[in-house]
Every structure is written in C-alpha cells, then in structure tokens.
Amino acid sequence: MKFLKLVLAATALTGFAASAQAQDSGVYVNLGAEAVEFDSYNITGRLGYQFTENLSVEGQGSFGVIDDDIAGVDVGVDNSFAAFVRGSVPLSEQFSLFARGGYHFTQFGADGDGVDASVDIDGFAFGGGAEYMLDARNGLRADVTFFDSDDNTLNGVDVSGTAETYSISYVRKF
C-alpha cells in the first residue's frame, strides 16, 4: 500500500511539473539570416515578448557578414538595431501571419577602391511575414521589412529612401 501511495505521489508531481513546463512564458527568440535588397547579408537576432496571441513587442539586432561588391567597393550593413510592435493573426495552431512596425538605427558602410565611409540612418520600419511552429516551442519564420530614412548622404550621394530586407529565422519560445 505504501508503494502504491508513493507511485501515485510521484506520478502527480511529474504531472504537475510537466504542465508547468508546458506553460508559455511569452518570451521568444529568433536567430536567422537576412538579405538586404542589394545582395548583402546579415545575421539577425530577435528577442520578443508575446502579451497575447495577437500582440507582441520585439527588439532586433543585425550584423553584416557579406557585403555587396559595387564597382570594386564593398557596400553593406555594418549593424542595425530596431524595436517593433507586432500584430499576429493565427490561422491555425501552428501557422500565423503578422505585421510589424517600429523604429530602426542602421549603419551602412562602404570600403574599397579608395573609399572608406559609413552613414548612420534611422527612421520608421515596417513589414510582415509568416510563422510556422513545428511544435509548441520550435518554429520557422519568414518576413520582409522595409527600413525608411530621410536626409542621409554618403560622400555627397543621397542615400535616403527605403531599403527592404528578407529574412528567414529559427523561432524558439520559452
């Protein structure tokens, strides 16, 4: 009888631990690759908090790893930091679409053929994408983001406008 009580108690504790572990804290991270419209590539990380299934906030950091060669000059993102509010629409338990908007600070650099310059730009950023969860904690995300800037010049050349990025990343929810 003591053995049966011990087994029941252990089973109950294991069940409580499993249900506590299955609860979502709302925190998530993404790690992936990002392509900038002119064929330079970044490593991108995101840290977010999901308040509800429809609303979250996220911070993003990107660091350039491959620059584009334009007439002998390497051009690309040195680093970029942004903060977003994200609205999601779940279409199933695993698949959702989202839109996001926020603000970014990005440093572009140009190096080579006698050029060594950088420009810091900032402005509104917006975009959207899709997320597919493989299980309760792991998934994949694809998105496009448009980074806007005004009144920025690089060696006298106006670089104002909008740049788009395309990214795919691994999603981990905690």
pLDDT in tens, the chain (174 residues): 444 444 344 444 444 444 444 568 999 999 999 999 868 999 999 999 999 999 999 999 999 999 999 889 998 999 999 999 999 999 999 999 999 999 999 998 989 988 898 888 899 999 999 999 999 999 999 999 999 987 666 556 666 678 899 999 999 999
Q: State if pTM tops 0.85.
A: no
Q: Contact 48/27 with Cβ under 8 angstroms?
A: yes
91: exposed, middle or buried (Cβ count in 10 Å: 0-12, 13-18, 19+): exposed
Task: Name residue 91's amino acid.
Answer: L
Structure tokens belonging to residue 135: 């299980």
Domains of the chain in sequence order = 25-173 (2.40.160.20)
Tell me the helix, strand and coil percentages in the chain, rounded to 5: 10, 70, 20
